[in-house]
Amino acid sequence: MTVRTRFAPSPTGYLHIGGARTALYCWLESRHRGGEFILRIEDTDRERSTDAAVQAILDGMRWLDLGHDEGPYYQTLRMERYRQVAEDLVRAGKAYYAYETKEELEAMRSQQMAANVKPRYNGAYRDRAEPLRDDPNRVIRFKNPTAGSVVFNDKVKGRIEWSNEELDDLVIFRSDGFPTYNFAVVVDDIDMKITDVIRGDDHVNNTPRQINIYNALGAAAPAFAHLPMILGPDGQKLSKRHGAVSVMQYRDDGFLPHAVLNYLVRLGWSHGDQEIFSRREMIDLFDVADVNVSAARFDVEKLSWLNQQYLKNDDPAELVPHFLWHLDAAGYDVASGPAPADVIVALRDRARTLKEMAEKAAVWYGPIREWDDAAVAKHLKSATAVPALKAVHARLAAVAEWNVENVHKAIEAAAAAIGEGMGKVAQPLRVAMTGTQVSPSIDHTVFLAGQSRAVARVEEALKRIGE
């Protein structure tokens, strides 16, 4: 049987980091086992579902490059199917119509809460064989078994047993003609031949009742794997305040999609001491059964470190499109400056994100906007600054082929000419190039400026000193 997993978000917001990890694990499990990955949009909550959210989820999946083999299916397009299955269940005596008002149910609940018992529907209509009648409160409830227990072997949590006495007759079909979540998922997962349900562990509580529905429908239950949740840095549930932001926010913040994936795959799963995983390795090594049972905190520091690992080790050419996105976002005139790939090489040891890299690249895509007074005072006003700059000016102007090596030689020669070490030339030059005393290695810093701009900036600096 072909392994089929599915990611089934409800479109009530963007794709957040937790959803992204669930999607990743579903995707990996299907890829690892040579199966298929299905995307399903659970949009039966008409109040909260929006088209914009559907689009946001699709965008997030595309950015992460988690392609699906089927779908997206939309539950709202399957309404007839749910109705039909629910009515079949009533006809088979496995479900029944009930007519309580929401107020009556609410009263029942609060009474039970007050009596310190778990609130459950009392099954008033269960055996009444109430005829079908028009009523604004008419719902269909599932006849949950009253005895025995449901046992399932969760692939991450292990064996879980649930007494049927804890369960009540849940509504499977609402009075407004929409199916409820617990019913629609089961119908969908059966129809879509899902073999492995991988989802957040906030669903373990739903699993026993869903298994009962599978049984009533005469279908075999799939394998279940419930993923622990991702917590914020403070150990609290992820909220908008600290990280439950859209995965697209991570793009905006300068992270590479693969770094995010790598971070996510290691959050709750591991393969020995390995930290870096290529897509291929993830697919080959991942097994949902190896996922950890407990919740993990989200740590941007480690994500940043991983991101820099990719910045440092990936082929710069492959990073260019991502970097261009940030250069554009920063509003630079890219054509006026150095080749982005060269900038990446110069900055990849110094930036953890593409955004940071773009910020540091500003001096090569436009004029120096700000002069650091301390830098000027220390390195431009020093005794050796003027001779150093003059010496390097002549040699830079004379470079025949403008590349990092030749720039380096020119600077070395200038230092030798005035009988000083590299530092005495590099620091004033650095300030002349950037207005600051911090930048990549001096040869790259000068090279990236381009020959005419580099020479002009040395002249500008000399003028600034008053020479």
Partner RNA sequence: GCUCCCUUCGUCUAGUGGCCCAGGACACCGCCCUCUCAAGGCGGGAACACGAGUUCGAACCUCGUAGGGAGCGCCA
User: Please, which of residues 307-336 interact with RNA by CB under 7 A?
Assistant: 308, 312
Does 242 help bind RNA (rule: CB under 7 A)?
A: no
How far apart are CB 173 and RNA at their closest, in Å?
8
Site for RNA (CB under 7 A): which residue of 301, 315, 373, 401?
301
User: Minimum CB separation from RNA for residue 192, in Å?
Assistant: 15
Interaction of residue 421 with RNA, rule CB under 7 A:
yes
Stretch that binds RNA, among 227-235, 240-248, 331-339, 361-369 (CB under 7 A): 227-235
> Of 126-134, 187-195, 199-207, 448-456, which segment contacts RNA by CB under 7 A?
199-207
Q: Which one of the spans 52-60, 79-87, 231-239, 336-344 is the region binding RNA (CB under 7 A)?
A: 231-239
Tokens read off for 49: 């579902």
Residue linked to tokens 């593409």 = 354
Residue partners of 453: CB distance under 8 A and separation at least 6: none
Residues 15-54 that bind RNA (CB under 7 A): 42, 44-45, 48
Check whether the bond before 321 is cis (ω within 30° of 0): no
Per-residue burial over 268-293, b if 16 or more Cβ lie within 10 Å, else e, is bbebeeeeebeeeebbebbebeebee
Tokens 């693969």 locate to 258
Binders of RNA among 76-135, rule CB under 7 A?
100-102, 105, 109, 113, 116-121
Among 128, 237, 241, 409, binds RNA (CB under 7 A): 237
| Number of shown-chain residues binding RNA (CB under 7 A) | 84
Which residue's CB is nearer to RNA, number 293 or number 416?
A: 293
Shortest distance, CB of residue 4 to RNA, whole angstroms? 19
Cα separation, 303 vs 308, whole angstroms: 9
Contact between 296 and 228 under an 8 Å Cβ cutoff? The reply is: yes
Name beta bridge partners: 296: 230
Q: Which one, 168 or 196, has the nearer CB to RNA?
A: 168
Residue numbers in the known binding site are 240
Q: Is residue 269 helix, strand or coil?
A: coil
Q: Could you tell me which residues are annotated as the binding site for ATP?
A: 240
- φ, ψ of residue 78 in degrees (nearest 5): -120, 20
Of 237, 240, 302, 312, which is the active-site residue?
Answer: 240
Question: At 125, which amino acid appears?
Answer: Y
Give me the helix-helix angle, 79-91 and 181-191, nearest 10°.
100
73 to 1, 13, 412: CA distances (angstroms): 22, 18, 65
Kindly state whether residue 388 participates in binding RNA, applying the rule CB under 7 A.
no
Among the residue ranges 217-225, 272-280, 390-398, 448-456, the one whose residues contact RNA (CB under 7 A):
272-280
**302 counts as catalytic:** no
3-state secondary structure of 194: coil
Maximum Cα interatomic distance, the chain, rounded to a whole number of Å: 104
Options 299, 318, 370, 467; binder of RNA; rule CB under 7 A = 299
- Active-site residues: which are they? 240
